[in-house]
């Protein structure tokens, strides 16, 4: 039986994928894995690593690894998404990326010291490709499962589901890390490694509900012939690229989205490293801080979806960007020699939670509304959205690592992020909200 667009069961199943995969975003992307990577690759205060015949700072190498994964997704997803639209197999591509991400995350269990850093880098890159690749197709389902009037709320609902699910798993993982004796664990690396394993299993198991309900081939596209299959993907991609040029609002929004994603996503990914390395905060408190960010994020995502009803999506995003600028300026004044630095860091982290989920949820629904109403190429259109975000993260994480290596401080990179937020605010000023 085919479920009608806008049906509550269909919307819940779609949003539930956020529940399944957001544990990766919390544990691997932001909370436990970056801090674990920095600690286990630091030998007695020596943060230099030899890798592929070259010497890197451990956090610099981690930033470059992230950049590589986003670069792969950025260039591969537009091709695959155009093929998905052409063949009607969006759900199959989403499954492929999900399984790649989940199993790669499980493999991080075997990363435990500087000698196995290749395992940590390889499978963190593959897991990142799986996570972000699956989101291209997941996001592309939004205009197919929800009416335009529902999309702000449904997008925020997905992020809220994700925050709740990830917090539940995170609490379990946190008890292992802070109290390993409760579980009879003596190896100090084992709690974090079990956390990585649990994330992969969680992602794999809970995604099955989404896959069982989400429709496939909504527009009943006939499967293509084998000959010219890949080239048709390129042709579809080129066609949509030219279509995007015909919509000035969409084009301007993508430019602004690229810029503020450059800053916001980079800050999100390096927040734990900044607190650990730049401010010298203990791992347990940093992980608790990121957990609080997730909880605050639930209210941020849902709250700004309501605010957008009164002031419009574009103005709501501008308000969020103004808060982001305040956060970056505040971070510049953090000093590890200040006895209250931890409290100040936690306050800023709370504001990050407020704006991180809200800017992601509103960006997704705003873009979904700007896509031409008569198009069937939702995956291809969202691949441009994803391409913008991933290239932004590539440049952001690479810039962060390079600026740290050049200046010896992460604060120079944070100053750059503040400027980028301001420029994106100005660009949004030239976009009128659709009445």
pLDDT of residue 387: 75
Listed by start position, the domains of the chain span 8-428
Please, which residues bridge with residue 247 across strands? none
pLDDT number for residue 101: 94
Confidence (pTM)? 0.73
CATH of 8-428, one of 3.20.20.450, 1.20.1250.20, 1.10.730.10, 2.30.30.100: 1.20.1250.20
Quick one: tokens of 78?
């537009």
Name the residue among 207, 33, 17 with its Cα closest to residue 120: 33
- Cα-flanking dihedrals φ and ψ of residue 56, to 5°? -135, 155
Which helix H or strand E contains 426, and what residues bound it? helix 411-428
Could you state, in chain order, the average pLDDT of each consecutive group of 10 residues for the chain (435 residues)? 73 90 82 79 67 71 77 74 67 90 94 84 89 83 78 80 86 86 86 92 94 74 55 66 82 90 80 71 72 76 81 90 91 82 83 83 84 68 76 79 74 85 92 66
* Residue 89, SS3 per DSSP: coil
- pLDDT at position 231 is 63
Give Cα 207 to chain centroid, integer Å: 17
| Predicted pLDDT at 195 | 92
The C-alpha atoms of residue 27 and residue 4 are separated, in whole angstroms, by 35
Distance CA 28, CA 199 (A): 8
pLDDT at residue number 72: 82
Q: How far apart are CA 362 and CA 366, in angstroms?
A: 6
Q: What is the DSSP letter of 222?
A: P
pLDDT for 33 equals: 84
d(C-alpha 123, C-alpha 19), whole Å:
22
Q: Give the phi and the psi of residue 43 in degrees, each rounded to 5.
A: -100, 105
Going by the DSSP 8-state scheme, the letter that residue 141 receives in this structure is: T
Q: Are 364 and 374 in contact (CB under 8 A)?
A: no
**pLDDT score of 47:** 64
How many Å apart are CA 209 and CA 368, to the nearest integer?
Answer: 24
How many whole angstroms separate alpha carbon 298 and alpha carbon 165? 11
Residues 415/332, Cβ–Cβ less than 8 Å = yes
Q: What is the pLDDT of residue 427?
A: 94
């Amino acid at each position: 039986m085919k479920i009608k667009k806008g049906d509550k069961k269909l919307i819940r199943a779609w949003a539930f994928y956020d529940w399944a995969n957001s544990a990766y975003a919390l544990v691997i992307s932001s909370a436990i894995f970056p801090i674990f990577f920095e600690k286990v690759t630091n030998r007695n205060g020596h943060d230099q690593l030899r890798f592929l015949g070259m010497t890197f700072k451990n956090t610099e190498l981690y930033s470059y690894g992230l950049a590589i994964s986003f670069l792969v997704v950025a260039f591969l997803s537009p091709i695959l998404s155009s093929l998905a639209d052409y063949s009607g197999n969006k759900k199959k591509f989403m499954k492929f990326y999900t399984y790649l991400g989940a199993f790669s995350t499980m493999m991080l269990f075997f990363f435990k010291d500087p000698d196995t850093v290749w395992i940590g880098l390889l499978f963190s890159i593959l897991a990142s490709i799986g996570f972000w690749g699956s989101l291209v197709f997941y996001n592309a389902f939004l205009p197919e499962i929800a009416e335009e009037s529902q999309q702000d709320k449904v997008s925020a609902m997905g992020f809220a589901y994700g925050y709740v699910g990830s917090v539940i798993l995170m609490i379990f993982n946190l008890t292992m890390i802070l109290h390993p004796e409760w579980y009879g664990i003596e190896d100090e690396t084992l709690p974090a490694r079990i956390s990585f394993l649990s994330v992969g299993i969680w992602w794999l198991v809970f995604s099955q509900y989404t896959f069982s309900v989400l429709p496939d081939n909504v527009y009943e596209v006939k499967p293509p012939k084998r000959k010219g299959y890949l080239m048709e993907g390129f042709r579809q991609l080129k066609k949509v690229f030219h279509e995007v040029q015909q919509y000035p609002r969409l084009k301007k929004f993508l430019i602004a989205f690229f810029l503020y994603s450059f800053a916001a996503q980079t800050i999100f990914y390096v927040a734990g490293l900044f607190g650990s390395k730049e401010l010298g905060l203990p791992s347990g408190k940093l992980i608790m801080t990121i957990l609080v960010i997730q909880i605050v994020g639930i209210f941020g995502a849902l709250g700004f979806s309501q605010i957008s009803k009164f002031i419009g999506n574009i103005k709501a995003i501008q308000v969020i960007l103004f808060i982001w600028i305040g956060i970056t300026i505040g971070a510049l004044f953090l000093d590890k020699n200040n006895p209250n630095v931890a409290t100040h860091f936690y306050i800023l982290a709370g504001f990050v939670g407020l704006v991180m989920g809200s800017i992601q949820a509103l960006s997704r629904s705003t873009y979904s509304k700007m896509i031409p109403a008569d198009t069937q190429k939702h995956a291809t259109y969202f691949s441009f959205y994803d391409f913008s975000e991933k290239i932004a993260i590539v440049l952001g994480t690479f810039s962060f690592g390079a600026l740290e290596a050049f200046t010896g401080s992460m604060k120079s990179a944070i100053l750059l992020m503040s400027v980028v937020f301001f420029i994106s605010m100005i660009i949004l000023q030239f976009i009128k909200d659709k009445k």
